[in-house]
Amino acid sequence: MKALTFQGTQKVSVETVPDPRIEQPTDAIITITSTAICGSDLHLYDVLGAFINKGDILGHEPMGVVVEIGADVKNLAVGDRVVIPFVIACGHCYMCQRGLHTQCETTQNRETESGASLYGYTELYGDVPGGQAEFLRVQLADFNALKVGADLPDERYLFLSDILPTAWQGVQYANVPDGGTLAVLGLGPVGQFASRIGRHLGYRVLGVDPVPERRAMAGRHGIETLDLTDDVLAELRETTDGRGPDSVVDAVGMEAHGNPGAAFAQKAAGLLPDALAKPVMKAAGIDRLAALHLALDAVRRGGTVSLSGVYAGAADPMPMIHMFDKGLTLRMGQCNVQKWRDELVPLVEDPADPLGTEDLTTHAVPLERAPEMYKLFKEKEDGCIKVVLKP
Ligand SMILES: NC(=O)c1ccc[n+]([C@@H]2O[C@H](COP(=O)([O-])OP(=O)(O)OC[C@H]3O[C@@H](n4cnc5c(N)ncnc54)[C@H](O)[C@@H]3O)[C@@H](O)[C@H]2O)c1
Ligand SMILES: [Zn+2]
Ligand SMILES: [Zn+2]
């Protein structure tokens, strides 16, 4: 089959690789109809290459049709249309029972001290072949594959694999008081959905992003937008009676704009040979923290900051004095997709499309064009906001 493979920092290519096969009786094989590129893939592309091997298949936002099932698969049949969450969980362990699927004790990666295995997400998370490919081996398929209806287009359901539940969790963790104000930093795909969810739940939403077309898209969904300027902190306070928003979702993560020094260090670590880069990355503060620090500065006293954006530094400097003095709550983590997806299905199936799933994808292209799309998405060229590949 054809698959998008990692070849080195900022180098990916479509290659012919062996078709996946059933390896465990709980597996299923799906043929992929749509598979998206995520902001998390950009971290692999740019910074975390030391943890991926040349030739590894990327991608963790797939959906498709079941073509084969293992002997123990009971809930699925060949021909079922399914969405696959990026997190692989068992559904019955101590953690899964508590809705913490990203910490699943069946698939947890104890050797690397990482949580549950993830598709296409480095040796830290189980080295699992990803979903930017023609076919995917779905593990623990009964629990993980979500069966969906046949009538609506892929784009309605596809984002249940990751960014829609991620944004939902981000807003839930932000603990916004009724009728309160939520600021969303970053209006990429995750920030778009987080801010729309905020509106849907009745909050005032302030969205911050340096990219004009991303602000324009958010504006279409009732979000007040602000450019990322030197004045943005003052503006966020001014428009909230001087206090700051009740809650802030950071939907930016480790590659935030506005940290030139850290950007250089991060780039340098990304370009080191793997054997040198790994210990540096495991011990040092490699994150660009402009967005996180803005979130901590902007949120009102006693408020909550919720991190959807991914961070990976081991010793990032944090403004403890302000965090402590302001009495902040901080929540974060990979999304427990399986916990939230059932409450999102009615929203994506609602004829009115209240979260605007059909107003996010800017580029839907064949898998062959994935390398070009990685660059476009990273550089935010050609108005690119979300890429969906069609294998
Ligand atoms: N927690 C999870 O399970 C999970 C799941 C999916 C994605 N993510 C993470 O969410 C983050 C966003 O993903 P995405 O797909 O929307 O990616 P993206 O890269 O398209 O979005 C990031 C946005 O932040 C903006 N930005 C950059 N610096 C900023 C700053 N200092 N202040 C405000 N905005 C700034 C960029 O212009 C961009 O629009 C990434 O870190 C990704 O890894 C986490
Ligand atoms: Zn993702
Ligand atoms: Zn589990």
pLDDT in tens, 356-389: 999 999 999 999 999 999 999 999 999 999 999 9
* The predicted structure's pLDDT at residue 173: 98
What dotted CATH number matches 2-162+335-390?
3.90.180.10
- Residue 281 binned pLDDT confidence (cut-offs 50, 70, 90): low
Task: Tell me the ligand closest to 36's alpha carbon.
Answer: 2
**Atom 35 of ligand 1 has which residue's CA nearest to it?**
186
Q: Which of 121, 173, 192, 209 to mutate to test the pocket of ligand 1 (most atoms within 8 A of CB)?
A: 209
What would the mean pLDDT of 59-75 be, rounded to a whole number?
Answer: 98
pLDDT (tens digit per residue) in 121-165: 989 999 999 999 999 999 999 999 999 999 999 999 999 999 999
In the chain, ranges of CATH 3.90.180.10 domains: 2-162+335-390
Measured in Å, residue 288 CA sits from the centre of ligand 1 at: 12
Give me the residues near ligand 2 (ion), CB cutoff below 5 Å.
Answer: 38, 40, 162
Residue 114 confidence (pLDDT) above 80: yes
Q: What residues does 226 pair with on adjacent strands?
A: 208
Q: Which atom of ligand 1 sits closest to the CA of residue 378?
A: 19
Phi, psi of 80 (to 5 degrees): -65, 140
pTM of the model: 0.95
What would the mean pLDDT of 182-191 be, rounded to a whole number?
Answer: 98
- Residue 107 binned pLDDT confidence (cut-offs 50, 70, 90): very high
- Residue 218 binned pLDDT confidence (cut-offs 50, 70, 90): very high
Residues in the chain: 391
* The predicted structure's pLDDT at residue 271: 63
Mean pLDDT of the chain: 94
**Atom 2 of ligand 1 has which residue's CA nearest to it?**
334
* The predicted structure's pLDDT at residue 50: 84
* The predicted structure's pLDDT at residue 262: 65
* The predicted structure's pLDDT at residue 287: 78
Q: Of 4-8, 47-51, 112-116, which range is least confident?
A: 47-51
**Atom 27 of ligand 1 has which residue's CA nearest to it?**
256
Determine contact, residues 46/270, Cβ cutoff 8 Å.
Answer: yes
Q: Report residue 14 as tokens.
A: 């479509």
Residue 5 confidence (pLDDT) above 70: yes
In the chain, ranges of CATH 3.40.50.720 domains: 165-332
* The predicted structure's pLDDT at residue 337: 98
pLDDT (tens digit per residue) in 288-303: 899 999 999 999 999 9
Determine contact, residues 130/27, Cβ cutoff 8 Å.
Answer: no
CA distance 374 to 370: 6
**Atom 21 of ligand 1 has which residue's CA nearest to it?**
188
* The predicted structure's pLDDT at residue 231: 96
Task: Tell me the ligand closest to 115's alpha carbon.
Answer: 3
* The predicted structure's pLDDT at residue 314: 84
* The predicted structure's pLDDT at residue 255: 84
What dotted CATH number matches 165-332?
3.40.50.720
Q: Which residues of 53-92 are buried (b: 16+ CB within 10 A; e: fewer)?
A: eeebbbbbbbbbebebbbeebeebeeebbbbbbbbbbbee
Of 381, 388, 368, 389, the residue nearest 12 (C-alpha) = 368
List ligand 1's pocket residues with C-beta within 6 A.
Answer: 38-40, 42-43, 162-163, 166, 185-191, 208-211, 214, 228, 251-253, 256-258, 290-291, 308-310, 334-335
Give me the residues near ligand 3 (ion), CB cutoff below 5 Å.
Answer: 89-90, 93, 96, 104, 106
